[in-house]
């Protein structure tokens, strides 16, 4: 029963504004200077990664009514920094997280089409939604969108953007200097969209880009999010980096594709994964423990407990036991601008479970937070990590991983230097880029090649 | 020969194959490459070779059109373009000295997004970013967004009260847009990032500020997600043809582009902008007034004029422009620039008629001529765009020192 070996897809997530990123390390550099982004991107390209990934948040996080100051704060504009990176890389895909709530389709489509032109076909869009009035305070729209409409807006936003990408077919620019005909069609870019969320018409002004459309990522994990991905995404940025959870998610999502007339290989599943390497497995384990303590200071532990308790717990000792009081079950008010708090759907049950685990293991608040979160996906020697990653992918726990180093900008270097060559030796990872566009790297067809008959002409 | 002639600032305005509608038909044009990074990289490298202060990059939220009111259905001119902020971001890491100033449309974009995009351009260029703010009165562009309608008007009715109200509203909104963008740039103090391992704090949050901007059409809370850019305040520029836009220049900009056709007009415009500047309480601020000129440049007398005629014939009609159209030699252009400079303009934004021809004519013909006359730099004297324009790095309006004096720029430009 031999199945052909799957080729592993790897990508790099620029360390984000959360406590995974260890800014206190002496090796930690700037999160905003372009040199950090350039270093990170060049390492990813040296390692022949598919793409670099940038997250986004459009309002600085707050906790207890104050700007959250314990994690890295501040990041650049996604489009501008990705386009600048196109100047210092040649093959690396450039994936940006762009919100469908606080943008308009015409603008976002022209920005992605421009990025795709300026990178010769390396653009990808991680479509995210939000609805919160907190972020809305930074925008003309304000917090206008009821929560239950966020996916319907996201779906219509993506559909509208696709109509704009497809409004040029790629053959309109003739530019015949002799005859003086520049465009073959005066109506190039014409579009009309009338829907629940958008009622727009006119002419799109960016001609068709090399990839036709950017590669589409989806990151949500809800039932709606999975359907959204199955219906129209090219890749999923998931958070199930363990073997069992990964397999369950993989089977679930891939199983949804047939309903949309799509093949198994038309949606890649790429979980985010942290890693810690060492010369030996034991050394890596030891280092990983240190990293986890650096990621969860006493102050951070209290703040994370507040995500569940929805109360000010600043009077508690992080090295002491968990609070006896129960979480406040009202609307979550303590932490703002954080999707994470929505993970705890039953705070009372979580609090009960955590108290029991802490008591059984004699854990302090900080120990508990360290043990319940932030466990690195891959810890070990380069050989162990290479073997584990390959095993996960061959076992259909994923199609590869989006690696999240904890140090900026050098956190990827050791992975590139030690793990990648081992994967290449096993024949499960490319030794050089074979194509030029991100679709090529991901094994995705150009949208014109995929379009069902009759669709292109519409 | 004067002992210390006034030095000029020079910028070049990039748009497709050039400003003449038939520019793309010239043998030197590369009309099939207008959407490639290599095309723009080449142009900006040429401009930097000529030691120019900066390039601007045109943009718009609709297809190019010869009509002010909407698409013209023409197929004989360049149509289709890339986002100017992203073109600027793509070329910035490949240049070292020249300023990059993309166009942004205030009418339909979010100040929050524009502020962080230009701040990021400032990071990727190490302090060479600016923006050129533009309004859009086109109904077809409003329909691309579907959020608002712009009342229709005819250009002939510009002076009627109804049209003046529409235009005033659009420019007031642009001034609000710039104000919000500027406050966001200042919303982080320069030393807000402290990385204090002892207390676990990455930032000193007392050095981050809500901007609480409330305008007629939008409000913005802040702070920005992007720390204060290297220049503190990237350079804000605007093109202006009449009193209402002059007011925008005077209230909000560091550089205004104007379109006088002779020295007397230049003098009158500069006077009007200075008066508006006083009224806005910015008398002490440097506001450059640059003259915009479309240029056809050739070394042989008559060659430029002949080229203009040839292009007009190809286009089927004479090219007209809001700006004065100059056709002549670098020496003649240098004479004209010095004459206009004496009338109060501190620099020029040249619009090359055919970019493949007239840009190198500027950098290799005009610039050496101006250098011979001691009115243009022989080497870049600063690393930032503000530095090239003689603008100091401004103090932060939210810093405690300024707040104490009660002299925050926020109070004086609002």
Average pLDDT for runs of 10 along chain B of length 414 = 74 98 97 98 98 98 91 96 98 98 97 98 98 95 92 84 92 97 98 96 98 95 98 98 95 98 98 97 96 98 96 96 98 98 98 98 98 98 97 95 55 36
The position carrying tokens 């409000």 is: B219
For residue B87, the model assigns a pLDDT of: 98
The CA distance from B210 to A70, in Å, is 19
Are A34 and B126 inside 8 Å of each other by CB? yes
Contacts of A88 in chain B (CB under 8 A): 93
For residue A1, the model assigns a pLDDT of: 52
For residue A132, the model assigns a pLDDT of: 84
The CA distance from A207 to A195, in Å, is 24
Within a 13 Å sphere around the CA of A98, how many CA atoms are in the beta-carbon half? 27
The CA distance from B188 to A74, in Å, is 10
Are B119 and A77 inside 8 Å of each other by CB? yes
Are A104 and B140 inside 8 Å of each other by CB? no
The position carrying tokens 């286009």 is: B315
Are A202 and B86 inside 8 Å of each other by CB? no
Query: How far is the first Cα of chain B from the last one, in angstroms, to the nearest whole number?
Result: 44
| B 169-228 residues inside an 8 A Cβ radius of A | 188, 193, 195, 197, 199-205, 208, 217-223, 225-227
Counting DSSP H helices and E strands in chain A, the numbers are 16, 17
| B 58-117 residues inside an 8 A Cβ radius of A | 60-64, 71, 73-83, 85-87, 89-94, 108-110, 112-113, 116-117
Are B203 and A137 inside 8 Å of each other by CB? no
For residue B287, the model assigns a pLDDT of: 98
Phi and psi angles of residue B106, each rounded to the nearest 5 degrees, phi first: -70, -25
β-bridge partners, B214: B219
For residue A330, the model assigns a pLDDT of: 86
For residue A228, the model assigns a pLDDT of: 87
Give the three-state DSSP class for A276: strand
Residue in B with minimal Cα distance to A113: B82
The CA distance from B249 to B261, in Å, is 19
Within a 13 Å sphere around the CA of A285, how many CA atoms are in the beta-carbon half? 4
Q: How many CB pairs under 8 A join A and B?
A: 227
Sorted by where each starts, the structural domains of chain B and their CATH numbers stand as 9-413 (3.20.20.30)
Q: Is A239 exposed, middle or buried (0-12, 13-18, 19+ CB in 10 A)?
A: middle
Classify domain A9-278+378-450 at the CATH superfamily level. Answer: Luciferase-like domain (3.20.20.30)
Dmax over Cα atoms in chain B, in whole Å?
73
For residue B403, the model assigns a pLDDT of: 64
The CA distance from A157 to A259, in Å, is 22
- B266 in contact with A at a CB cutoff of 8 Å? no
The position carrying tokens 């958070």 is: A239
For residue A455, the model assigns a pLDDT of: 37
Considering only CA atoms, which of B83, B372, B398 is closest in space to residue B211? B398
Give the three-state DSSP class for A67: strand
Where do the domains of chain A lie?
A: 9-278+378-450, 297-372
Which tokens in the block code for residue A424?
A: 């290449």
> CA of B214, closest CA in chain A: separation in Å?
11
Cβ(A289)–Cβ(A367) below 8 Å: no
For residue B176, the model assigns a pLDDT of: 97
Considering only CA atoms, which of A222, A250, A291 is closest in space to residue A400? A250
Residues with pLDDT less than 70, chain A: 1-2, 143, 374, 450-458
Are A205 and B80 inside 8 Å of each other by CB? yes
The position carrying tokens 């002779």 is: B262
Nearest CB partner across the interface for B221, out of A87, A137, A140: A137
The CA distance from B339 to B343, in Å, is 7
Which residues fall within 8 angstroms of residue B192, CB to CB, at 6 or more apart?
Answer: B203, B204, B205, B207, B208, B227, B228
> CA of A139, closest CA in chain B: separation in Å?
6
For residue A293, the model assigns a pLDDT of: 94
Contacts of B78 in chain A (CB under 8 A): 182
**CA A253, chain centre distance (Å):** 17
The CA distance from B30 to A167, in Å, is 24
């Amino acid at each position: 029963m031999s199945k052909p070996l799957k080729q592993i897809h790897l990508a790099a997530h620029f360390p984000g504004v959360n406590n995974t990123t260890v800014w206190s390390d002496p090796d930690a550099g700037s999160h905003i200077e372009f040199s950090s982004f350039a270093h990170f991107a060049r390492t990813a390209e040296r390692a022949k990664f598919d793409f670099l990934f940038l997250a986004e948040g459009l309002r600085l996080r707050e906790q207890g009514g104050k700007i959250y100051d314990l994690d890295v704060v501040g990041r650049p504009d996604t489009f501008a920094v990705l386009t600048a990176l196109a100047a210092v890389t040649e093959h690396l895909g450039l994936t940006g997280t762009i919100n469908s709530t606080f943008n308009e389709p015409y603008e976002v489509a022209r920005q992605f089409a421009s990025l795709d032109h300026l990178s010769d076909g390396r653009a990808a869009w991680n479509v995210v939604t939000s609805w919160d009035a907190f972020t809305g305070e930074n925008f003309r729209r304000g917090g206008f969108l009821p929560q239950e409409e966020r996916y319907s807006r996201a779906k219509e936003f993506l559909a509208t953007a696709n109509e704009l990408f497809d409004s040029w077919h790629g053959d309109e620019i003739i530019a015949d200097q002799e005859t003086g005909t520049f465009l073959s069609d005066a109506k190039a870019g014409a579009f009309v969209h009338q829907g629940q969320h958008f009622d727009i018409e006119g002419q799109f002004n960016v001609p068709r880009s090399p990839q036709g459309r950017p590669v589409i990522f989806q990151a949500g994990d809800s039932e709606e999010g999975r359907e959204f991905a199955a219906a129209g995404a090219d890749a999923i940025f998931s958070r199930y980096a363990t073997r069992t959870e990964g397999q369950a998610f993989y089977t679930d999502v891939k199983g949804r594709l047939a309903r949309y007339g799509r093949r198994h290989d038309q949606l890649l599943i790429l979980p985010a994964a942290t890693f810690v390497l060492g010369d030996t497995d034991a050394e890596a384990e030891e280092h990983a423990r240190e990293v986890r303590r650096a990621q969860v200071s006493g102050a951070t532990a209290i703040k994370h407990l507040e995500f569940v308790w929805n109360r000010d717990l600043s009077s508690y000792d992080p090295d002491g036991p968990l609070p006896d009081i129960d979480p406040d079950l009202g609307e979550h008010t303590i932490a703002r601008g954080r999707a994470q708090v929505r993970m705890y759907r039953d705070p009372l049950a979580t609090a009960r479970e955590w108290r029991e685990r802490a008591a059984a293991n004699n854990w302090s608040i900080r120990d508990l937070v360290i043990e319940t979160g932030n466990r690195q996906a891959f810890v070990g020697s380069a050989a162990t990590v290479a073997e584990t990653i390959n095993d996960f992918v061959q076992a259909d726990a994923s199609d590869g991983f989006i690696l999240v180093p904890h140090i900026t900008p050098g956190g990827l270097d050791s992975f590139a230097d030690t793990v990648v060559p081992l994967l290449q030796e096993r024949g499960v990872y490319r030794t050089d880029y074979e194509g030029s566009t991100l679709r090529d790297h991901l094994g995705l067809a150009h949208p014109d090649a995929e379009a069902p008959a009759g669709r292109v002409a519409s | 020969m004067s002992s210390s002639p006034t030095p000029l600032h020079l910028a070049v305005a990039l748009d497709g194959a050039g400003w003449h509608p038939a520019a793309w038909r010239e043998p030197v044009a590369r009309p099939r490459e207008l959407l490639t990074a290599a095309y723009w990289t080449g142009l900006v490298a040429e401009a930097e070779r000529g030691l120019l202060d900066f390039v601007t990059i045109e943009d718009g939220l609709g297809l190019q059109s010869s009509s002010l009111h909407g698409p013209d259905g023409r197929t004989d001119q360049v149509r289709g373009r890339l986002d100017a902020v992203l073109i600027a971001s793509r070329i910035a890491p490949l240049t070292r000295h020249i300023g990059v100033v993309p166009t942004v449309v205030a009418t339909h974009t979010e100040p929050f997004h524009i502020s962080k995009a230009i701040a990021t351009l400032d990071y990727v260029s190490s302090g060479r970013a600016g923006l050129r703010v533009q309004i859009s009165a086109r109904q077809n562009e409003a329909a691309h967004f579907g959020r608002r309608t712009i009342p229709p008007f005819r250009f002939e009715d510009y002076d009627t009260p109804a049209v003046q109200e529409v235009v005033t509203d659009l420019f007031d909104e642009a001034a609000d847009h710039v104000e919000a963008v500027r406050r966001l740039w200042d919303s982080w103090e320069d030393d807000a990032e402290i990385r204090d391992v002892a207390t676990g704090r990455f930032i000193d949050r007392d050095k981050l500020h809500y901007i609480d901007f409330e305008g007629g059409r939008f409000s913005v809370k802040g702070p920005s997600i992007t720390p204060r850019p290297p220049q503190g305040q990237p350079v804000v520029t605007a093109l202006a043809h009449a009193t209402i836009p002059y007011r925008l220049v005077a209230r909000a900009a560091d550089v205004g582009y104007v379109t006088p056709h002779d020295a007397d007009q230049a003098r009158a415009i500069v006077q009007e902008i200075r008066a508006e500047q006083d009224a806005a309480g910015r008398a002490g601020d440097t506001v450059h007034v640059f003259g915009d000129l479309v240029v056809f440049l050739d070394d042989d007398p008559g060659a430029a004029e002949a080229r203009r005629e040839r292009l007009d014939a190809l286009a089927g009609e004479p090219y007209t422009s809001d700006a004065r159209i100059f056709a002549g030699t670098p020496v003649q252009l240098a004479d004209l620039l010095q004459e206009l400079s004496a009338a109060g303009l501190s620099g020029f934004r040249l619009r090359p008629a055919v970019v493949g021809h007239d840009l190198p004519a500027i950098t290799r013909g005009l610039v050496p001529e101006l250098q011979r006359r001691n009115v243009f730099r022989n080497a870049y004297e600063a690393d930032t765009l503000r530095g090239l324009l003689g603008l100091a790095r401004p103090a932060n309006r939210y810093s405690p020192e300024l707040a104490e004096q009660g002299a925050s720029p926020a109070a004086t430009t609002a």
